[in-house]
Structure 1
């Protein structure tokens, strides 16, 4: 037993050393997400994480287009983002649109392409979303549909419009099939949520839409391999590789989070107690850093990374060794965490009774 314990300790120590070195980027120094001089579209770009992303990408030399509905917020956000530009040649633009409508997403890509001198955008980030947390029985049918529209269909429609534009784009000039691997990839990124990885009481109107987004991302990741392979067929046109990514942030201190708390049930507050809270800039920095490392499935804090590891299933791995071992560890951790969360919800119901089903803010 002592010998077994010794080797188990050695293996665990090696795991944490490798994990630390991987986090520091020792094993992967190439930048897989180069944005300097590229045109980036960000929906939900007028505030919160979208605004933070716009600022960070501007600091990295990108041309940025932000999309939202409120023109006043867009104008303010664009001034903030453009102020972070590092080159006089960078360009910035905003589009007011309702991304829950399929035709509006077509319009966004067409308008950006025209603004971008006839070239489709290089990077499109489906970041629009909002949470209206409550218990399912307290949620109207209209809100349930609205949550699916803004948190799932907005991204699905944008993905469809973007992929059509990329696949039907004219062939690259002066590029042969042998040198395609050296052409910078195009990236389509979706912002999901750690709430889509683990069910939490009080998020039933919201988290299923984010969970659906994760499955859409996995499916698209495989679908684009068909297009990427077809580039090399004798009849294929020279085109950049297409990459799909999924980003799952946790709690972000934004105006949207303030709105969330207005409908949040008190038991949800109890279950979230102690969860890390990040600023829009912190979330943007982690997301972009991991995109630069070539990651597909990204969480922005340690709790989110643990939730991601426990929910990997058939999703592509960022790092086969780290993800595999981390998933083993978290599968054991959840044997204790899940009963604890269930127990907290049960205890709250026993203490406060069935009559107390409304949000904490409404009391």
Structure 2
């Protein structure tokens, strides 16, 4: 992937005053002893970052050089039922990568660097208590055959977070000790430090994949697709359950040929052991008018692929926002074609869910 110093080269830390009261906060400060520190009342309200339209011009620089450190206030867990049974309280928010379709900037403003949360013990205990209340998984479902699954990285990429502190190592260790649950997160980065975390089958990593020539346009600052595919067996041998996300599926002239080539590359690269346990999620692109406007300020080329009002329609999201999705009726037909192509080229790859 992008060398670590090019992906994250922290020069400024915005932090809530209480951060130094936590061991993880002190560890982060010690890791970056010479950088500028700026105290802020809230990690959610930093005027120079959030909602600052002028930050568009510095979008990538801010992601590389700025870190926000705070205390996670809400520790509630939410039901999911798609990728996981439950969404765990996040140990981070934001990302050093800059995928053009990412939904987080819609909620957090223009610049969206990594925010790390330091009250990781409280987060871990909230997850443990919740799992204990669940008891055993009563029957297999689309999420898992035996365990409750908790999504750990809803608003960021844990592979990159792991470059900055031990939050991810602690989460992997936590799930080793919870007998009826496993953790899960999706990633577009290959961080081989995670290979030493000893997940013992209790953490699922989901490598997000798309045709490489499209990823070069929209997956900004991420690991190359070939590197992600090549990592699948390494992470499996290290004790992770390894799935893939075909996400987002972007429709354009020639998309079927590109996906066919990707499926063939996966099939020709991964081992029989990886194939035997491989499952996938399929997620067609959802876009947003506000994000479209932001992208025009820093990466208009991506919008040639993402902004297709000729085949998209407005739809209100579960969170109440107005999003653009591929048109009803046609979306179902395209999804059926995608699944048929997958079944033809990778019949062993079970589709856990698709939308």
Looking at both structures, which has the greater relative contact order when contacts are Cα pairs under 8 Å and sequence separation is at least 6? 1
The structure carrying a bigger helix percent of its residues is 1
The structure carrying a bigger strand percent of its residues is 2
| TM-score by shorter chain over 0.5 | no
Query: TM-score, normalized by length of structure 2?
Result: 0.36
